Chain A
Amino acid sequence: MSILDAKVPAGPIERKWSEHKDHIRLVNPANKRSIDIIVVGTGLAGASAAASLAEMGYNVKSFCYQDSSRRAHSIAAQGGINAAKNYPNDGDSVYRLFYDTLKGGDYRSREANTWRLAEVSASIIDQCVAQGVPFARDYGGLLDNRSFGGAQVSRTFYARGQTGQQLLLGAYSALMRQVGKGKVKMYDRHEMLDLVVVEGKARGIIARNLVTGELERHGAHAVLLCTGGYGNVFFLSTNAMGSNVTAAWKAHKRGAYMANPCYTQIHPTCIPVSGDHQSKLTLMSESLRNDGRIWVPKKLEDAKAIQEGKKKGSDIAEDDRDYYLERRYPSFGNLVPRDVASRAAKERCDAGFGVNRTGEAVYLDFASAIERYGKMEANVHHIDNPSPEKIRELGMKVVSEKYGNLFDMYENIVGENPYVHAMKIYPAVHYTMGGLWVDYNLQSTVPGMYVLGEANFSDHGANRLGASALMQGLADGYFILPYTIADYVASDIRTGPIKTDTAEFVEAEKSVRERIDKFFNTKGTEPVDHFHKRLGKVMWEKCGMARNAKGLQEGIEEIRRIRDDFWANVRVPGKPNELNQELEKAGRVADFLELGELMCKDALNRNESCGGHFREEYQTEEGEALRDDENFAYVAAWEWTGEPGKDVMHKEELKFEALKLSQRSYK
């Protein structure tokens, strides 16, 4: 075990970033033209980084597995993006955004990174507006804000329920502008299948053309992984079907440490599972918790009747409803952070109070919001003594304006009108705070390989607050990496183009080819999904919302068995040299089968509860997460040693200078 140096600059926290920027090396404009950079992934982090680097003059190659870079999964983010603009004049500041984010992450993030994120947040909004991103505005024409979980100020900018889409299309437009200029060469329908390391430096990748099946070698002076999170290890998650860990995992096997892989975010407001056929879960934006109230019946017999279909939520009298978040956390109420809200839902459902057939759902109810808004509208329109129907009608209009697309989506999937019947929701895997370890410059343990956005680990600690993922993706891509990478590639201005006929590229391509052949040669009987679903079930049960040592040990054993079974019995049809979606899935699931074990191992090592990592053995008397700062205020960064499950741990000690560690409370 070694202690990792995060290379955090010295000095007071509010000066670190600007001092650092002032003193790192630059690359002059003419020399930028001789530097090639590969960017893998075209979500918020990847598209913004690729566009920004190309604007600066670097030669960029951009890769995505989708048919167009515009489809990266950032597009599905709904609720919003945080920024310390303090437009509502409610006392927000860089410090408060930093404080909320660090506290929200249960003091397991790197303090200096979190501060920097808050510091650049305001520039992101300016940049996006300049690009023509249509954020929500008020009638005065100024930008509107709303509040989000874990904060007591309104600092979230949004574009209806499609903020991720609008921000991504903004970054995509910047990227396409550079594609049009020839500064970015776009490789869509390409998947990175290995990292090439030459003399200890990342010098390229092996990518598979998903249409022809051809393996391609691409050389560059630096490689950026902006490949998102690994939530699909659970099979069911809110991630896109294609979201995967493969690029990150290949990099891990080539020397990049994997940090805190057990930190998983289970999002409290998702549409519950409807049956075995389920292929993914759909999120209902956290913004709904601004107006929706979460409850279950107070009485077990009411819950039973609802589960058996004999009663509906509307049959339960107001006094017989348990608004458990408002009860347990009076000061934050329904706006507690995601990990807290998810565990509270699980606690009620485990106790038998769930409100659907399977007993795994709680209500998210808009009735009182509809009434409140209806009365307000009646006042605005000078309607005296409005009837309850009129109030409902007016209120529904407001709710529809705010959340209409989400309500429609719910109705499409569930087949029930959420304006009439309270929504049913349940927690689902949504985001992974863990990821590849990076230093302050976003460089991994492989020199020349940088990791941005959800794929890295650094800013959100053990739990990410809502509307902070978009902020981080764009902060990394627009405002952080374009500066920090210069310090590294400044050494490469005389290197010349990276040759791809060297032994390292040959070896990497050969290993990719051998693995593809192995899939076809297995000639088993079971489709890839069969193994993925089994893995997902183990991960959800043993390494999900609540974990314990015994379960995690069992989980590791079960994952090993599934992995052995996979390599003996998987069936991949078709050929390697064609569009072959089963082959794509096989590669991704094979990597999940190794990652899953590491997640359990990491969770087993962390003998404390923090944020999204809840070990049942470590909780307060009230059932809240119990941290152990004396022994676990560190980042666990795992090094691959050649075999799954044999990773060795290194540590980065977390030091808190600007904030004192304290017990997180939302009461």
Chain B
Amino acid sequence: MGNMKLTLKIWRQADAKAKGAMVDYQVSDISEDMSFLEMLDVLNDRLVREGQEPIAFDHDCREGICGACSLFIDGRPHGPSRHITTCQLHMRKFKDGDVIHVEPWRAGAFPVIKDLVVDRGAFDRIQAAGGFVSVNTMGNLVDANAQPIPKLDSDKAFDAAACIGCGACVAACPNSSAMLFVAAKVSQYALLPQGRPEAKTRALNMVEQMDTEGFGNCTNIGACEIECPKDISLENIARLNREYLGAELSKE
């Protein structure tokens, strides 16, 4: 058992149509070894015992890779530490007596479903618009080593592909822009020979879908990069812009 006492101010909203509000909760006996979500588990356990409704929040793998958890903690997506998701944030980052604000992602394209749970279906639709290589399953493709890929390109493609689709970039951006997310996917494929044949249509279609979903424009603020739990670089946005411009200028 730990001994931290905290005041939590948490966004409660019954459903998509309801009006939400910040509600205060006191928690005690919080150990510094707990993760932030385990601290919320402790609170929820108590709420259920008291006959109240527990706080809804998305989470699944709890090891920083599925991208489900999505809390806006004290004004920052995934809280105060860099390069980690909410589930990896541990209470040793806080101190006894702290007041902590917990909100959902705020973006028009991510409507709140309940409490801290938002709908990020827009990301799936952007992916479906072009985030793939058009290759069917087939058992007789060329050997994987038939085409060497320079390690540097491959490593950069990996850096971009490390995106977990959590939406922190959108939540961090004053414009609610999804450029970093889209740029990461476009870059992964743009850097690999397998992705080149469809590079133009991919960039055009994914950006078009991004705009349709209602995400804002990029004005080079850079908050997305700072808050990205997977350290996706702004370089990718520059690459997306190049890919997009090239595609736009040469489209038939």
| Residue positions of A touching B, CB distance < 8 A | 48, 51-52, 55, 66-71, 73, 75-76, 85, 87, 120, 123, 125-132, 134-143, 159-160, 162, 164-166, 169, 172-174, 176-177, 179-180, 186, 188, 211, 238, 240-242, 274-280, 282-283, 408-409, 412-413, 415, 478-479, 482, 525-527, 529-530, 571, 573-574, 578-579, 581-582
Q: Are B84 and A412 in contact (CB under 8 A)?
A: yes
Set of chain B residues within 8 Å of A279, measured between Cβ atoms: 35, 37-38, 41, 62
Q: Are A140 and B148 in contact (CB under 8 A)?
A: yes
Q: Are A479 and B48 in contact (CB under 8 A)?
A: no
Distance between A229 CB and nearest chain B CB, rounded to angstroms: 14
With A68-B124, A186-B124 as given contacts, are A165 and B83 in contact (CB-CB < 8 Å)? no
With A482-B137, A529-B41 as given contacts, are A71 and B67 in contact (CB-CB < 8 Å)? yes
Q: Mark B146-174, 1 if CB is under 8 A from A, else 0.
A: 00111100110110011011000000000
Report how many A-B pairs have Cβ atoms within 8 Å.
225
Q: Cβ of B215 < 8 Å from any Cβ of A?
A: no
Closest 8 CB pairs of A and B: A141-B148, A180-B128, A173-B132, A134-B158, A129-B144, A52-B137, A527-B48, A177-B132
Set of chain A residues within 8 Å of B188, measured between Cβ atoms: 132, 134
B83-130 CB contacts (< 8 Å) to partner A: 83-84, 88, 90, 92, 113-114, 117, 119-121, 123-124, 127-130
Q: Cβ of B68 < 8 Å from any Cβ of A?
A: yes
Q: Cβ of B22 < 8 Å from any Cβ of A?
A: no
Q: Cβ of B42 < 8 Å from any Cβ of A?
A: yes
Q: Are B144 and A85 in contact (CB under 8 A)?
A: yes
Q: How far is the CA of A68 from the CA of B120 in the complex (A)?
A: 8
Distance between A53 CB and nearest chain B CB, rounded to angstroms: 9
With A142-B148, A162-B162 as given contacts, are A66 and B54 in contact (CB-CB < 8 Å)? no
Q: Cβ of B143 < 8 Å from any Cβ of A?
A: yes
Q: Are A573 and B53 in contact (CB under 8 A)?
A: yes
Set of chain A residues within 8 Å of B68, measured between Cβ atoms: 66-67, 71
Nearest-neighbor residue (CB-CB) of A77 within chain B: B65
With A70-B67, A211-B113, A274-B33 as given contacts, are A130 and B133 in contact (CB-CB < 8 Å)? yes
Q: Are A127 and B42 in contact (CB under 8 A)?
A: no
Distance between A523 CB and nearest chain B CB, rounded to angstroms: 10
For this complex, 11 residue pairs linking A to B, each with C-beta atoms less than 8 Å apart, are A68-B123, A71-B67, A76-B61, A127-B137, A135-B154, A137-B151, A166-B161, A169-B161, A415-B32, A527-B48, A579-B117
Q: Tally B residues with Cβ within 8 Å of A.
A: 83
Q: Are B92 and A415 in contact (CB under 8 A)?
A: yes
Q: How far is the CA of A126 from the CA of B136 in the complex (A)?
A: 12
Set of chain A residues within 8 Å of B42, measured between Cβ atoms: 277
Nearest-neighbor residue (CB-CB) of B44 within chain A: A527
Most B C-beta atoms less than 10 A away, residue of A129, A134, A240, A415: A134
With A132-B194, A581-B54 as given contacts, are A408 and B67 in contact (CB-CB < 8 Å)? no
Distance between A83 CB and nearest chain B CB, rounded to angstroms: 9
Q: Are A179 and B65 in contact (CB under 8 A)?
A: no
Q: How far is the CA of A48 from the CA of B138 in the complex (A)?
A: 12
Q: Are B54 and A573 in contact (CB under 8 A)?
A: yes
Name the contact of A579 in the complex, choosing from B114, B162, B189, B195 (C-beta under 8 A): B114
Q: Are A277 and B31 in contact (CB under 8 A)?
A: yes
Distance between A391 CB and nearest chain B CB, rounded to angstroms: 25
With A75-B61, A525-B49 as given contacts, are A176 and B66 in contact (CB-CB < 8 Å)? no
Q: Cβ of B60 < 8 Å from any Cβ of A?
A: yes
Distance between A570 CB and nearest chain B CB, rounded to angstroms: 10
A sample of 10 more A-B contacts (CB under 8 A), given A67-B68, A134-B155, A241-B59, is: A75-B65, A127-B137, A131-B194, A143-B145, A173-B132, A211-B113, A241-B62, A242-B60, A408-B83, A412-B64
Q: How far is the CA of A180 from the CA of B130 in the complex (A)?
A: 8
Set of chain B residues within 8 Å of A48, measured between Cβ atoms: 137
Q: Are B161 and A67 in contact (CB under 8 A)?
A: no
Q: Are B154 and A162 in contact (CB under 8 A)?
A: no
Q: How far is the CA of A164 from the CA of B65 in the complex (A)?
A: 10
Q: How far is the CA of A75 from the CA of B64 in the complex (A)?
A: 10
Q: How far is the CA of A179 from the CA of B209 in the complex (A)?
A: 14
Set of chain A residues within 8 Å of B136, measured between Cβ atoms: 52, 55
Set of chain A residues within 8 Å of B117, measured between Cβ atoms: 67, 579
Interface of B is mostly: loop
Name the contact of B158 in the complex, choosing from A52, A130, A159, A478 (C-beta under 8 A): A159
Set of chain B residues within 8 Å of A174, measured between Cβ atoms: 132, 135, 137
Set of chain A residues within 8 Å of B161, measured between Cβ atoms: 134, 159, 166, 169
With A132-B192, A137-B149, A527-B48 as given contacts, are A71 and B128 in contact (CB-CB < 8 Å)? no
Set of chain B residues within 8 Å of A165, measured between Cβ atoms: 65, 162, 164
Q: How far is the CA of A162 from the CA of B61 in the complex (A)?
A: 13
Set of chain B residues within 8 Å of A211, measured between Cβ atoms: 113
Q: Mark B173-200, 1 if CB is under 8 A from A, else 0.
A: 0000000000000001100101100000
Nearest-neighbor residue (CB-CB) of B118 within chain A: A67
Q: Are A129 and B194 in contact (CB under 8 A)?
A: yes
Q: Are B189 and A132 in contact (CB under 8 A)?
A: yes
Q: How far is the CA of A323 from the CA of B39 in the complex (A)?
A: 37
Q: How far is the CA of A573 from the CA of B51 in the complex (A)?
A: 7
With A134-B158, A529-B41 as given contacts, are A76 and B63 in contact (CB-CB < 8 Å)? yes
Set of chain A residues within 8 Å of B83, measured between Cβ atoms: 408
Distance between A67 CB and nearest chain B CB, rounded to angstroms: 6
Q: Cβ of B45 < 8 Å from any Cβ of A?
A: yes
Name the contact of B15 in the complex, choosing from A162, A578, A581 (C-beta under 8 A): A578
Nearest-neighbor residue (CB-CB) of A529 within chain B: B45
Distance between A465 CB and nearest chain B CB, rounded to angstroms: 21
Distance between A580 CB and nearest chain B CB, rounded to angstroms: 8
Nearest-neighbor residue (CB-CB) of A483 within chain B: B139
Set of chain B residues within 8 Å of A120, measured between Cβ atoms: 139
Set of chain B residues within 8 Å of A125, measured between Cβ atoms: 144
Most B C-beta atoms less than 10 A away, residue of A48, A66, A125, A241: A241
Q: Are B145 and A87 in contact (CB under 8 A)?
A: yes
Q: Are A142 and B63 in contact (CB under 8 A)?
A: no
Most B C-beta atoms less than 10 A away, residue of A277, A527, A574: A277
Nearest-neighbor residue (CB-CB) of A49 within chain B: B137
Q: Cβ of B219 < 8 Å from any Cβ of A?
A: no
B52-85 CB contacts (< 8 Å) to partner A: 52-54, 56, 58-68, 81, 83-84
Q: Are A71 and B150 in contact (CB under 8 A)?
A: no
Set of chain A residues within 8 Å of B92, measured between Cβ atoms: 415
Set of chain B residues within 8 Å of A278, measured between Cβ atoms: 38
Q: Cβ of B141 < 8 Å from any Cβ of A?
A: yes
Q: Are A173 and B133 in contact (CB under 8 A)?
A: yes
Set of chain A residues within 8 Å of B135, measured between Cβ atoms: 127, 130-131, 174
Distance between A616 CB and nearest chain B CB, rounded to angstroms: 32
